[in-house]
Every structure is written in C-alpha cells, then in structure tokens.
Structure 1
Amino acid sequence: MSIAIKAENLSKAYQLGQIGTGTISRDLERWYARIGGKEDPYLRIGETNDRTSKGNSDVVWSLKDINFEIEQGDAVGIIGRNGAGKSTLLKVLSRVTSPTTGRITGKGRIASLLEVGTGFHPELTGRENIYLNGAILGMRKKEITRKFDEIVDFAGVERYIDTPVKRYSSGMYVRLAFAVAAHLESEILIVDEVLAVGDAEFQKKCLGKMGEVSKGEGRTVLFVSHNMGSVKTLCDKAILLNQGLLYAIGDANQIIPQYSKATANNQSKRIGGNMVYVKAVSYYCNAIEVSSGEILHGEPLRIVLQIEALEDYNDVSIALCFNDSNNQRMTSVWTKYNGQLFSLKKGIQQFDLQIHSLRLVPDAYQLITYIETKGQILEQINHFDEILVTPANHSKSLEVPVSGLGSYVEVFEAKLRYD
C-alpha cells in the first residue's frame, strides 16, 4: 500500500519571550513603554505583561526528531498528555506552520479541522464558506454542488446556511466545519479534539463518519483525542507523543495501555496510614483472567485485590472507583452503601468484588481504591491500574455511547477471604 504521509527528522521549535513587532518604530515604542513602567502597547488581547518569571531557555521544542510513515487508508490516533506536541504535529502536517527542521511528504489533498472555525471566513455565509473550502482543496464548483446537500444535512444547519458564520454558536461552527472537512474530496482528513465542542449525539455521528471515511472510502484519518475509547474504536494504529518526542507507534491496542500507564505513573500513588496495603489486583471477564485489564462493555467483571494488613481492623469498608480518560469520576462501588462491612485480619487476604454487568461506556478507566474504617482511611491508591472497556461485539462498530453518558454498574457482590 502507498505511503500517504511520511515524517523525516521532524522538529518544531518556538521562541519564548519577547519577539520583535516587525518594525523599528514599534519596537522603540515598546522599549520606551517598558522603561517607563507602562504596559506593552502591542500586547495581544488575552496576554499578560508579567515579567516576574522566566524559564531556563528561550527556546522550547514542541516536536523533536519525529519519524513515522502512515499508509493510505490508515486511521491513526495521536495521543499524549497536554503539551505533548499533538496539535503542533497536526499543524505541521496541515501546512499551517512550517517545521524548524526535517520535512513532511504527503500524497493527496488534506482537509483539516484543528480548531473551531478553521478555514472559515467569519463574514461569509455558511453556503459561501462551503464553496470557499472546496475551492481551497482544488475542487470544481460542480463537485462541491454535488456534495452540498449532504454537507448541510450532516451539519444540521440548513436554516442558517445563508447567515454569516460569525453569528453561529461554537457548536454550529464546528458542526459545519466538520461536515465540510469530512465530505469534500480530500485524501487525508485531520481532526483535532475540537469535537468536544459538539453535543454527545454529534460526537457519536462524527466518529461514525470518520470510520466510514477510513474503512469505507479508503481515506487516511488522523485523529487527536483524550478519549481512549473513541481512539480504540476508530483507529487501528496510534502514535504516542511525550514532551515532543515520539514515545511509541504501532497497533492501537498496544499503544493505548502504554499511554494510560505513563499517565498513571505521573499521579500520586498511595495515601494512608501504612498499615494496610493493596499488593496486587487481578481482573476476570466472563471468568477468564485478563492481564491487560481489557473488559467488554456490559459483561460481568470480577476484580480481586490482594490486601496485606499489619494489624487487625473491624468495620472495614472497601470502595472501587472508576475515572475516565479525562479523570472524571464515572461510577463507584462502595461496600458500606451495600450494607457490607468486613474484618481485616493481620496477614494477607483477598477481596473479591463481582460486578454482574459493567456498563461503563467504552473508554480507558483508572481504578481507584479506598479502604477505610470508621471514617479513617487505611489505604487509598489513586490510578492503581487501568481498565480498558471495549465494545462487547469486538468489532470496530462505532455505535457506542459517548464517554460520560450512561456509565454505571449493575448489581455487585463482595466478599473477603483469607489465604
């Protein structure tokens, strides 16, 4: 299969601190203001005139020595923590900015959606912007007209299509922008995490369209998201960036756990009195142990914690909480609210929690554990391990809920047993 995008020794540096305005007269005005203790007259709106702190270097490398190849028809998720270089990489690939060193070679026209309103002229109507974007991609008017009704129908803005887009809400803006990028005849579709602006129904619709573009039409899709469930559902491959470096690239099923593990390692691990320890955790889906923590949506889940107590404790309750990839608490299972209190004996024992139906929506979740007695925390581990919830049919179906909706667990049973 042919190569759609190739990056060779790609790097991008940004200059920190004050940068010249472009003219000597304005630079002098800025200098006079500074020595006079006044605000910089050429500060951009939203910037602050804070000169109290400065980093160790005036140059930051958003990307450093990035090398990869993406084949035509691939759906590739680009993941990493905030500041890892994901958006910068997409801007370089989209030709919005030039690399400092290295080069990008690509085959085919690129349609990108990097932020709300990318490529739109605010004074033009929705209709005019559709034709403008098509013209930028090199399409003929007849080709754009053929796609026009489909674009408007997908965006759901027919009533406002002849209204200047500067009057659109951010949701309407991103609906139309995505519809244009996805439906016009481009070989490469690049989408940053702007879909979070839309509502849940539209996010689901966009994921379905991107899957259709990639698998049905054989076009290349690059997708940035912090929702690991969406990345796993849509993408076969993933690129993991960390502090501007290419940390890993390969099969999405292997890369996503690396990202989640790296994220967990940066979190605080243990809080408590150092008298009770959770030494290990095991997962069982349909009675089969899964070492990767990959669980099927809606299926039974069994979690076994190995606990060591250095002394006896009575009236102990245990909680297991699930935070999604955005670190939002989705659901909790706490034994005391189920009327169950336990006695921890000195030594090693196993806590066995069986959830009859785990209805967390597909995403990567962090398991957080609490062990407490009479309001005293004996053990609390934040981000102890990852649970990756996937669609139950194991297909790449995109008919799945959006993270944050309908996340709950059904009836559970808990028991403590001694080794």
Structure 2
Amino acid sequence: MSDTAIKVEGLGKQYIIGHKKQGDLRYALGDKIKGLFKPDASEKEIFWALKDINFEIKHGEAVGIIGRNGAGKSTLLKILSRITEPSTGRFTINGRVSSLLEVGTGFHMELTGRENIYLNGTILGMKRAEIRQKFDEIVDFSGVEKFLDTPVKHYSSGMKVRLAFSVAAHLEPEILIVDEVLAVGDAEFQKKCLGKMDQVSKNEGRTVVFVSHNMGAVQNLCSRGILIKEGKLKLDDRIETVINEYKRYSFSDLNGKKYISDSQIREGRGIAKIQSIEIIENGENVEFFTIGSNAVFRLKIENNSQESLKNVEIAVGVDDSLNNRIIHLSNYFSNHPIELIPGKNTIDINIQNLPLMEGRYSLTFFMTTKDILEDWLKDIFTFDVETGDFYHNGRLPRLGKAQFLLNHNYSIC
C-alpha cells in the first residue's frame, strides 16, 4: 500500500459570479423586461476560489491548513471530502475518509441520533457489528445519551457538533478531515476533540487534516502546515514556520492599523509624539500575539526639538474588551531611564511570557518629559491574543475564568 494518504495535483475550483448592472429605475425596469425573454441580465465574472494547488500528505501526518477568511481553505476540504468537484486538476485519496465540515454534515435531520450513527457507519463501509462495537464509546464521548432517540433536527448546533465529531473520530477512518466547525462547541468539548485528534494521529497512526484560526490548537496538534492565500498555496513547511509566515503577511495587510501619526485623538504639548506602533513576536511583525509568547510593542517616536529629551516616562495601559484597565506598564516603575535624541527614536516594550488570556485588548499611551505631558493617545490601538501553551502542558483555564496567567508552583511543607 502506498504511504501517500492524499495527493493533490494542479487543483483548481472556479465559480461564476453574477453582478447586477447598476443604474436608475429605467435600467432596473429594463433588466426586468429583458429577463422575461432572456433569463440572466447580469454580468458574469469568473472567480477562482482555488488555483494550481499541489501537495502530498503521508499516512499518519497531522497537517494544518491555515489562511484568512475567504482564502479557499473550506473549498479545498470540500473537494477532498468529495462534496464538490474540482474545476481543474485532480486528487487521489488512499484510505477511508471521515469529514466534519459543517454543523450536521452527514446527518439525516429526520432520523434520530442513534439511527444517524448507524447511517454514517454504513456510508463509511462498516458492518453493523463493527458499528455496534464502537456505539457506546461514540455516545459516551458525545454526551448526548439523553437525546439519542430524538430526531437530530431538534438538536442544538452544539449537540450536532458533539455527535458529528464523535461519529467521525470513532468509526476508525484512515483520514480525518475537520474544519473550523469545532468552534461551535464549548471550550471543554473543544479540548476533548483536540485530544482525540491528537490520539488518532500520534497513537493510532491515522491522517488528520485540520483547518482552524486557533493557532495554538493547530500548533499543538500538527507538525506540518499549508498556508493558503487568495486561493493559492503560498507555503508548505513545518507548522511553526507556516504560522509565523501567516502572522507576518496578515500584519502587512493591515497597513492603516499601526500608523497613528495623523491621529487627532491625542493631547499634550507635542514636542515628542508617538508616530507608529507595531507588535512583534519572536522577532517578526505579527497581527496578533500568542499566549505565553515573548511579546514586543515597538514604538516609533519623533522628537521634534533640537536637543535630547531626558527624564522621559512612557506608560502603557492595557484594557480588556469591557474597557477595564488590567495592566499598567511604565519605564518609571521598571526603572529603565529613557532619553529621546532629536529626530526619530525606536522604543521596544518587552513582555516575557505574555500572561494575557485569549481575547481582544486595547492600548492607551502617554508620554511625559519632566512631568510635562507630551503625548496622550487613548484606546488608539487594538490587538488580539490567540490561545497558546503558557504552562507548556497544553492546559489553560476556561475562557471567562481568568484574565491573565501567572507562572506558579506548589510545594508540600
């Protein structure tokens, strides 16, 4: 048997998009009349969701497909799951595939949960005895035992995901394909799913193809990454390399976000002004931080005077999404004197092992020289923190249970 699980060659998928012609009421009425004799009065555009994709995945590999919304990730998985046909190229799959792409994928809504388990197993080519052998394990993992004989159409989206993942992961597929749909489940169940996928890949030698915007989950599960940008494969490499590249290009696309030199939402004398802010992780410009990373806020500051400014304090307030101040940073407290030379200055604010939980935060800056306010910028910059491995054991408190994390230990006295 070939050691190749999935091989993709020159794969492309195009869609025909219709654009309605713009105009006044006369043109709109004219289009309606034309439509009586000519079915489509709209302009056509060919859109390539994927173009010239090539890669190969070996049996037992766990591969993360990464990219921004609209990049073509889900289209790729639908093709590999044989839900849609490619427009160009071809792909070959060696092994039984189980897919979880959308809430309720593979379910017959009128059938009960019990009936759908047997239906999915049959579709995968399993005998009834094989399904029965796995049945209790599937039900126990999903946690929907009370509703097992209820039609699936009455399930909540979370219940559908629970059952769908349990079926997909436990019916012994050689290849498991999972999309972002796991985000529908609660945090505890997501952790169970990730643990199960890790077990399926590392302990059972099965192939996992995983799409997620949760970079921490992708990095913990996958050893290899494939970066898709605007329908094209941009990078196929080690997962850490691909994640760093994804963060780099995502940040570069947000040019207006980091430059604040023209901001009017500021106060102060203005002899010295903050011109721009960048966020840096592991020496690279990124769009968001990862929990536990070595994070840097890089400030570009202009000293508009002809002499150096001494006794400068640069302070940063970090607020959560409810505008609660949770962190206050200052070179005055950390005892790091700053002197600004005439012209351009670069100041890095370094945070080791970033303790913030997953979420979105905003920054307020103020800068003084000899206690005179030079520049004050309120809520001028937002940044996101994605989940990561702060404690280096794959465990974090649930969202909402904590705002930030601390390294700590226990001892028996």
Percent identical among aligned pairs is: 45
* Aligned partners of 1:77 and 1:224 also within 8 Å: yes
The partner residue of 2:303 within 295, 304, 310 is: 310
Partner amino acid for 2:329? T
TM-score, length-scaled by structure 1? 0.74
The partner residue of 2:103 within 108, 116, 122 is: 116
Quote the Cα distance in structure 1 between the aligned partners of 2:96 and 2:35: 50
SS in 1 for 2:18: coil
Could you tell me which residue of structure 1 aligns to residue 121 of structure 2? 134
Quote the Cα distance in structure 2 between the aligned partners of 1:204 and 1:357: 22
Question: Deviations along 1:247-298, whole A, 9 cap, x unmatched?
Answer: 1111101000100111111112211359434688877xxxxxx535999966
Could you tell me which residue of structure 1 aligns to residue 12 of structure 2? 11
SS in 1 for 2:200: helix
RMSD of aligned C-alpha atoms?
4.4
Structure 1, unmatched stretches of 5+, are 19-30, 43-48, 284-289, 412-419
Quote the Cα distance in structure 1 between the aligned partners of 2:130 and 2:30: 56
* Aligned partners of 1:112 and 1:190 also within 8 Å: yes
**Displacement of 1:332 after TM fit?**
5.9
Quote the Cα distance in structure 1 between the aligned partners of 2:329 and 2:116: 56
Quote the Cα distance in structure 1 between the aligned partners of 2:143 and 2:185: 12
Quote the Cα distance in structure 1 between the aligned partners of 2:149 and 2:30: 48
Task: Trace 1:318-357 onto structure 2 (pairs within 5 A).
Answer: 318-319=315-316, 333-335=327-329, 345-347=340-342, 353=349
**1:270 maps to 2:259:** yes
Residue range with higher mean Cα deviation, 228-237 or 370-379: 370-379
* Aligned partners of 2:300 and 2:345 also within 8 Å: yes
**1:34 maps to 2:32:** yes
Partner amino acid for 2:328? W
Could you tell me which residue of structure 2 aligns to residue 24 of structure 1? none
Q: 1:58 to 1:71 in 2, by over 3 A?
A: same
SS in 2 for 1:58: strand
Quote the Cα distance in structure 1 between the aligned partners of 2:348 and 2:196: 41
SS in 2 for 1:223: strand
Question: Deviations along 1:127-172, whole A, 9 cap, x unmatched?
Answer: 0000000000000000000000000000000000011010101110
SS in 2 for 1:146: helix
Question: Deviations along 1:188-221, whole A, 9 cap, x unmatched?
Answer: 0001100111111111111111101111111100
Quote the Cα distance in structure 2 between the aligned partners of 1:279 and 1:172: 43
Quote the Cα distance in structure 2 between the aligned partners of 1:74 and 1:81: 23
Could you tell me which residue of structure 2 aligns to residue 372 of structure 1? 366
Q: 1:279 to 1:149 in 2, by over 3 A?
A: closer
Q: 1:296 to 1:98 in 2, by over 3 A?
A: closer
The partner residue of 2:145 within 151, 158, 180 is: 158
**Displacement of 1:407 after TM fit?**
4.3
**1:291 maps to 2:301:** no
**1:251 maps to 2:243:** no
Quote the Cα distance in structure 2 between the aligned partners of 1:378 and 1:368: 9
SS in 2 for 1:231: helix
Could you tell me which residue of structure 2 aligns to residue 27 of structure 1? none
Residue range with higher mean Cα deviation, 186-195 or 290-299: 290-299
* Aligned partners of 1:330 and 1:404 also within 8 Å: no
* Aligned partners of 2:214 and 2:386 also within 8 Å: no
* Aligned partners of 1:84 and 1:241 also within 8 Å: yes
Could you tell me which residue of structure 1 aligns to residue 410 of structure 2? none
* Aligned partners of 1:296 and 1:392 also within 8 Å: no
**Displacement of 1:16 after TM fit?**
1.3
SS in 1 for 2:125: coil
Q: 1:245 to 1:355 in 2, by over 3 A?
A: closer
Q: 1:291 to 1:59 in 2, by over 3 A?
A: same
Quote the Cα distance in structure 2 between the aligned partners of 1:315 and 1:308: 12
* Aligned partners of 1:272 and 1:378 also within 8 Å: no
Question: Deviations along 1:6-64, whole A, 9 cap, x unmatched?
Answer: 0000000111128xxxxxxxxxxxx99932999xxx9xxxxxx9x9xx77x52111000
Partner amino acid for 2:74? S
Q: 1:224 to 1:280 in 2, by over 3 A?
A: closer
* Aligned partners of 2:215 and 2:388 also within 8 Å: no
**Displacement of 1:408 after TM fit?**
1.4
Question: Deviations along 1:69-94, whole A, 9 cap, x unmatched?
Answer: 00111111111011000000000000
Partner amino acid for 1:376? W
Partner amino acid for 1:319? V
**1:215 maps to 2:202:** yes
Quote the Cα distance in structure 1 between the aligned partners of 2:325 and 2:238: 29
* Aligned partners of 2:5 and 2:59 also within 8 Å: yes
Quote the Cα distance in structure 2 between the aligned partners of 1:35 and 1:280: 55
> How many residue pairs are counted as aligned between the two chains?
370
Q: 1:376 to 1:328 in 2, by over 3 A?
A: closer
Question: Deviations along 1:316-359, whole A, 9 cap, x unmatched?
Answer: 54327599xxx9999963337x9899986444767575657633
Task: Trace 1:69-148 onto structure 2 (pairs within 5 A).
Answer: 69-148=56-135
Partner amino acid for 1:120? F
**Displacement of 1:400 after TM fit?**
4.4
* Aligned partners of 2:175 and 2:206 also within 8 Å: yes
**1:358 maps to 2:359:** no
Q: 1:382 to 1:356 in 2, by over 3 A?
A: closer
**Displacement of 1:376 after TM fit?**
3.2
Q: 1:401 to 1:92 in 2, by over 3 A?
A: farther
Quote the Cα distance in structure 2 between the aligned partners of 1:172 and 1:279: 43
**1:2 maps to 2:14:** no
Q: 1:403 to 1:104 in 2, by over 3 A?
A: farther
